[in-house]
Structures are given as structure tokens and as C-alpha cells.
Amino acid sequence: NAGVMQNPRHLVRRRGQEARLRCSPMKGHSHVYWYRQLPEEGLKFMVYLQKENIIDESGMPKERFSAEFPKEGPSILRIQQVVRGDSAAYFCASSRTPGQASGNTIYFGEGSWLTVV
Amino acid sequence: ELKVEQNPLFLSMQEGKNYTIYCNYSTTSDRLYWYRQDPGKSLESLFVLLSNGAVKQEGRLMASLDTKARLSTLHITAAVHDLSATYFCAVAHYGGATNKLIFGTGTLLAVQP
């Protein structure tokens, strides 16, 4: 997971503020995934993106959350009007290609810990 | 919808003992991962299992996969304190255009001296 870069590593926001988490995938990877880990729980899939496209956002909350992966620059997970329940670790992962035949492996970043006070 | 169940959720072991963590999943998949997570840290990849009957070993940990039974096991041999962590299995899910991992609930392992 050394190549997937996330920042910030720790972020504190007051209720109602916005949080922006950034993820730069490994070199050569064009597929990005975001996962959320609530305290004392496992990781839950949020969204899967390719460059400029959202492929699967079935795990994203319907409101306040959005994600993008522009042609240039990192992927951004944006949380508007944060609430205490958004406090969690947010992990980004990347892969070279998807699919069963590709033999790809998903690599995780170090995570961004969001605390809402 | 793919579901992944792990058990036990919590495991307290004495050093030197053996134990097994189980991971069951509900639909067909061709790839299963085991990860280790220390408190406040990211995921450390332990094993990737790609085929039925696959067995991989690293130190005191051994993982196996039975795709017919939809079951993977993580066996711990002669546990030591350094193995204390939370262990997750994750199953690859492909459907339509999507490609994601579905994680189990995790097993918190505490190895007592």
C-alpha cells in the first residue's frame, strides 16, 4: 500500500463544516475506491471511480457526500455539513484494472481519520 | 447481494496456542483477501487467495480457500503477542461494471502472555 497517498491523515472539523479528503492512486492505476470504517467496525464500500467517471456509488450516503476523480489530479471525497456520525477512518484504494481475469490487486492507502467535534 | 461473515468476532488466546478464524461468504467469488489492522493504522495485506484449494503460509499464519463451500480460514499456529490485531477477510465482488471488496466484520485477536 506504499504507493496510494492520502491526505490529510487526520482532520478535525466542527459540525456543519466541509471535509475534503484526497487520494492519489498508485502510479499506473486508473481505478480508485473509497471505503469508510466507523469506530469498532469493518470497512464499508462507498464508491468506485475511474478517471472522470463514477462507476458504482451504491455505498455512498444519499446526501452530503460526493466523490470525483478528475482527469488530472487526485480523487476527492467531499463531505458537506459534517455531523458527528461522519467521524470515521476513510480509506482509499487503487487498482490497475478491474475484472476477474486481470489478476489485479487492490492496494490501500494509509487512511484519513476524520473527527467531527 | 454478497455477504461476508467472520467468526469469532473476538478471540482471546494464550501464547503458544493454535486457533482458526473463519470467513464465510454468500455468492461466488474468485478472489479472497486477508488483512491485518493494528489500532489506528491502515490495512496490511496478508494473503490473496485466487483458486479453490489455495493455501498460503507466512510465518505463524496460514490461509486456505474452499470456493465450493464459500469458506476461507486463517489458522494461527503457536500464537505470540505480536499477532494481536484485528483481522479482516474481504471478498472480491464483480457485478456489471462494478469491482469492489466486501469486508467481513473483523476478528479482534488478543494474545495473552
Q: How confident is the model at residue A1 (pLDDT cuts 50, 70, 90)?
A: very low
Q: Is A18 helix (H, G, I), strand (E, B) or coil?
A: coil
- Find the CB nearest A48 among B43, B98, B105: B98
Q: Does B104 touch chain A (CB under 8 A)?
A: yes
Express as a percent the part of chain A with pLDDT over 90. 74
Question: A91 and B43 in contact by Cβ < 8 A?
Answer: yes
Cβ A114 vs Cβ A36: under 8 Å: no
Residue of B nearest to A112 (CA): B42
- pLDDT value at residue B1: 78
Average pLDDT, rounded, for chain B: 92
Whether residue A2 is predicted with pLDDT greater than 70 in this model: the reply is no
What mean pLDDT, rounded, does chain A reach? 91
Please report the pLDDT score of residue A101 as a whole number.
44
Q: Residue B53's pLDDT band (boundaries 50, 70, 90)?
A: confident
Segment A23-39 mean pLDDT:
92
- Scanning A7-110, the segments in alpha helix (DSSP H) are none
Alpha carbons B76 and B56: distance in angstroms, whole number: 12
List the single range of A94-98, A113-117, B3-7, B87-91 with lowest mean pLDDT. Answer: A94-98
Residues in chain A, total: 117
CB contacts of B44 in chain A (<8 Å) are 1
Which chain A residue lies closest to B39 (C-alpha atoms)? Answer: A40
Cβ neighbors of B16 (< 8 A, separation 6 or more) are B78, B79
Q: Above 60 in pLDDT, residue A94?
A: yes
Please say if the pLDDT value at position A73 is more than 50.
Answer: yes
Q: Is the per-residue pLDDT at B13 higher than 50?
A: yes
Q: Are A109 and B42 an interchain contact pair (Cβ–Cβ within 8 Å)?
A: yes
**How far B104 CA lies from chain A's nearest CA (Å)?**
7
